[in-house]
Structure 1
Amino acid sequence: MPVPRLVTLLSDFGLSDVYVGVMKGVIAQINPTLTVIDLSHEIPPQNIAAGQFCLMSAYPYFPDGTVHIAVVDPGVGGNRRAVAIEFANAFLVCPDNGLFSGILSHTPVVAAIALTNREYWRTPTPSKTFHGRDIFASVGAHLASGVPFTELGQKIAPETLVPLPISEYSLTDTGILGCIQYVDRFGNLITNIPAHLVDGKNWFVKAAGLSIPGNKTYSNTPDGSAIALLGSHGCVEIAVSKGNAQSQLQIKLGDAVQIVLH
């Protein structure tokens, strides 16, 4: 018997309803020995961009063979495909709406499948509103239990996967232009600018008419002061020491930021 793979779950379902628990119940019905780890269920509703960022951020920290089930699915019940993607060291089961774009920007696809084999769905007539239960959780559990990837459905060309546009940073004569790509629960503003571009240099951030000093840590910044630092995601972040940068600075997702090197 194949060794069961680890399973992760990511969604925008929250925890006040039963949706996450039901998905885990479907997984347990198929294989109660699987280990299931919750990445997050607090992705803002229908926010595919936030989901892809969190999935990309978590992906490197799991063992080879992990099956990631991700459901942020505003197009549920429509024409969007349900897919599974094989990478060199993991699998992803999700809607074909760009949730995988962050991972694809760093990791080549080995193979992709449209989930057309209803044998591995929970029911051949899934709900129009809950594919997380009826398709993704079920397929992910079967895959993690040893069902061959190629049995899940029809092979599709990786280049036909629907991309999510991801804003790119750009270099200028004086620094780097980028934007806010994610806001965490602390209100920290995570940019799309890689930290390695400024590490060891003198720099500050300009955003929303503010100049925010860089190369700081929380420990050497007065409470309530804005700082720019090299975050654990590997990107430049804007924060407020013991405060909420999003609300205090009135900077939001997608807003432009500029790093000035000096």
Structure 2
Amino acid sequence: MAIITLTTDFGQKDHFVGAVKGAIFSEIENVNIVDISHYISPFHLHEAAYIIKNAYKSFPKGSIHVIGVDSELNPENKHIAVYLDGHYFICADNGIISMLTSEVRPEKIVEINIHDRFTSNFPVLDVFVKVAGHIARGGTLEVIGKPITETKELTGIRPVTSNQSSQIIGNVIYIDNYGNVITNIDRKLFEEVGRGRDFIIQARTVKFDKIHRNYSDAINFDAPPEKREEDGKRIALWNSSNCLELAIYKSNLTTVGGASSLFGLDFRDTITVIFTPKL
């Protein structure tokens, strides 16, 4: 049975998600449709890229991932189908796929060229669903598009080093449901540049000198509950994606707030890691 995932900025208020699912069921007899997220911020390419990057690997090889974010066809926003890491991705060539291709080389990319068969202005519903159906039935990508070798790159997804590798300058690329701030600084780069040196992480007026593996690692559970520093505890950690994350322990956006609001951080804001020179 084919597995098709959906990642969009459609939300759930309108008919879009239901219509796309209906079209998939009409196109493919036996299919399992999985919603990854329909709450991507409108046209937010970095959000979409981060979410699909961290979700697709949990699915079986051969899964088909439809990404409906900024998908309207125009001369600067072509449609592509990509075979990468044993998975298929159908999306616009707007940079979303570059967060995946920066780590895994795609085996095949085609620019979709079947648009003359459709008259609507809802490409996820018609073009993307038709391509997904073709792939699910064992069709090759060359039938629905012409091979290409490059896709657009998202800016701001890679941090930079400066001052003779004494600093890493990164950016906020995602803010999750808890208000936690995820950066584009990954553990591999941090360890390569840091080489075991002491460091300070600076984000506006907030500073950290330790990075934890888990949220609860920042709490001293040897102390009696009434003496523990828990509420509002500031934490830097390596999250499940091995990205540097700044968080508040057990944050609640409806009451005390989260790291994004309490630290005054938003998408693209700068996060700097300063390493102490070894004597």
Q: Does the alignment reach a TM-score above 0.5?
A: yes
Task: Report whether the alignment pairs 1:255 with 2:269.
Answer: yes
- After TM superposition, the structure 1 stretch with the greater mean CA deviation from structure 2, 213-222 or 139-148, is 213-222
Match of 1:229 in 2: 237
Offset of residue 201 of structure 1: 6.8
Q: Alpha-carbon deviations, 1:123-171, whole Å to 9, x = none?
A: 923322x211111122112212322222112x23222x22222332233
Offset of residue 185 of structure 1: 1.4
SS in structure 1 at match of 2:158: coil
| Cα distance in 2, alignment partners of residues 51 and 158 from structure 1 | 22
Aligned-pair Cα RMSD in Å: 2.2
Q: Alpha-carbon deviations, 1:20-72, whole Å to 9, x = none?
A: 11111111001131111111111100111211111122232222111111110
| Cα distance in 1, alignment partners of residues 211 and 118 from structure 2 | 55
- Which letter maps to 2:102? S
Task: Report whether the alignment pairs 1:139 with 2:139.
Answer: no
Q: How does 1:184-195 map to 2 (within 5 A)?
A: 184-195=176-187
Match of 1:179 in 2: 171
Identical pairs, percent: 28
In the alignment, is the contact (CA less than 8 A) between 1:195 and 1:231 conserved in 2? no
- 102, 105, 113: which one aligns with 2:102: 105
Match of 1:158 in 2: 149
- 101, 117, 122: which one aligns with 1:124: 117
- 74, 86, 89: which one aligns with 1:78: 74
**Structure with the greater alpha carbon radius of gyration:** 2
In the superposition, the TM-score normalised over structure 2's length comes to: 0.82
| Cα distance in 1, alignment partners of residues 270 and 45 from structure 2 | 20
SS in structure 2 at match of 1:35: strand
Match of 2:37 in 1: 40
Structure 1 residues 236 and 201, CA, compared in 2 at 3 Å: closer, same or farther? farther
- After TM superposition, the structure 1 stretch with the greater mean CA deviation from structure 2, 78-87 or 245-254, is 78-87
- After TM superposition, the structure 1 stretch with the greater mean CA deviation from structure 2, 94-103 or 81-90, is 81-90
Q: Which runs of 5 or more structure 2 residues have no equivalent in the other structure?
A: 220-228, 252-257
In the alignment, is the contact (CA less than 8 A) between 1:126 and 1:135 conserved in 2? no
Match of 2:57 in 1: 60
| Cα distance in 1, alignment partners of residues 119 and 160 from structure 2 | 44
Offset of residue 245 of structure 1: 0.7
SS in structure 2 at match of 1:133: helix
- Which letter maps to 2:236? A
In the alignment, is the contact (CA less than 8 A) between 1:85 and 1:93 conserved in 2? yes
Offset of residue 98 of structure 1: 1.1
SS in structure 2 at match of 1:158: coil
In the alignment, is the contact (CA less than 8 A) between 1:30 and 1:142 conserved in 2? no
- 259, 269, 276: which one aligns with 1:245: 259
Offset of residue 205 of structure 1: 1.7
Number of residues paired by the alignment?
A: 251
Offset of residue 213 of structure 1: 4.3
- Which letter maps to 1:76? E
